[in-house]
Amino acid sequence: MNSNKTILRGELVLPFIILMNSFGVVLMLYSGTGISAISSMTYALSEVLPVFSLGTWTYIFQSVLIVILMTLRKKFMPQYLLSFGVGFAFGLMVDVHKDWIQVLPTAAAFRAFYFIVSYLIICVGVALSNRCKMPIIPTDLFPKELSDITGTAFSRIKVSFDLVCVAATAILTFVCLGGISGLGIGTLLSAFTMGKVIGKVGEWMDGHVVFVTHRMGGHSLRSGHSGRKLGMA
């Protein structure tokens, strides 16, 4: 292992992942370029059936993804339930960010900036999720696990999953609302490119960062690991 790599505790990184990804989703929607592809389906449901908030629909949708994964695995996976717990926190934070984000200015230049920032935040957040060795948000877990189950490259699964969500959103909002809602150029850009960008960000992380959990961290220290330790007890 490269001794120059930074060691990060997954337990301490996970809350930042939840904050980052939920903020990125809401900021992209606020930019006016369309919601991120991965959250487009839950946005459509919140518009068509507004009895629930966007955050509530988010963890309802995530529950469905967990059931699909267990069906494909053909066995009960306790770690998937932990992932749902993380997804529940993510859904709550989506609603929290929606409540305060209206204070940000809405001029066109700001909106373009919001899209760029939100795109990068989501890419970094998902790459962190895939490597933090902790339960991750079901919408991030689903393409990662499906890649493992099918043996297909993550970037290909991610792009396909995003495009299916976008297509379902377009059909649902067009049929139920009389027009396509929540989708825009930002949604399409993220759907077609985000999987590959996440892969590139992840490759960079693999060369510079090592993630450990409590158990793994103890093992690393006993082994005399000399990496820089951030957020470690």
> Would the pLDDT of 215 be above 70?
no
211 — pLDDT class (breaks 50, 70, 90): confident
Q: What is the SS3 assignment for 3?
A: coil
CA distances from 167 to 44, 188, 218 (A): 11, 10, 46
**Per-residue pLDDT tens digits for 201-210:** 999 999 888 8
How confident is the model over 43-47, as a mean pLDDT?
90
Average pLDDT over residues 128-153: 86
- pTM (2 decimals)? 0.74
Q: Which band of pLDDT confidence, cut at 50, 70 and 90, is reported for residue 229? A: very low
Judge contact between 10 and 211, C-beta under 8 A.
yes
Structure-model confidence comparison of residues 121 and 34, the more confident one: 121
Predicted local confidence at residue 115, as pLDDT: 93
Residue 2 confidence (pLDDT): 52
- Token pair for 178: 């009389």
Look at the chain and count its residues: 233
User: Residues 63-75: pLDDT tens digits?
Assistant: 899 889 889 888 8
Mean pLDDT of 183-204: 86
β-pair type (209-212, 228-230): unpaired
CB-based contacts of 203: which residues, under 8 Å, 6+ apart? none
